[in-house]
Amino acid sequence: MEKTRDKLACRFVETPIGPVTLVADNSALIEARFGGFPISHESAVLDQAERELREYFLRERRAFDVPLAPRGTPFQLSVWEEVRRIPYGETRAYIDVARALGNEKACRAVGRANNHNPLPLFVPCHRVIGRDGSLVGYAGGMAAKKWLLRMEQEQ
């Protein structure tokens, strides 16, 4: 018996840090990519994701409720789940995330997992910083990371 594939839908959303393309299957948001092309499909998940993203940038939302289904290795999924626990307006160092996962030697692996986060903003990897407080890499660019952290800390 052949498994039925979920239909994917995409939507282009303008944000204060640049365009973001949202990708969802029938039940959850699976990707949020920086950049993209102005396309839009009908999808209840995308409607919710777009609404929540707009509320976030208006400072009316601190956490996302849209169902998420990132695809990754078990370790990546555990990192992304831990990153989702970082409260709005706060930051954690890579070593803090590694310690929370029970292995402080996994700092670099945490960094690699963050680098492959398919749902930036929704899984707030911009809140992960260097041990010395330095801002390190972000898929949306360092200016976007600084902007997001400043926005969250101003509230």
Residues 81, 122 contacting (CB under 8 angstroms): no
Under a CB-based contact definition with an 8 Å cutoff, are residues 8 and 24 in contact? Answer: yes
Which of 23, 29, 68, 125 is flagged as catalytic? 125
Helix (H, G, I), strand (E, B) or coil at 61: coil
- HSE on the CB side for 57, CA within 13 Å? 16
End-to-end Cα separation, the chain, in angstroms: 53
For every residue of 102-126, DSSP letters joined together read: T-GGGHHHHHHHHHT-SSTTTS-GG
Active site residue 107: no
Residues forming the active site: 125
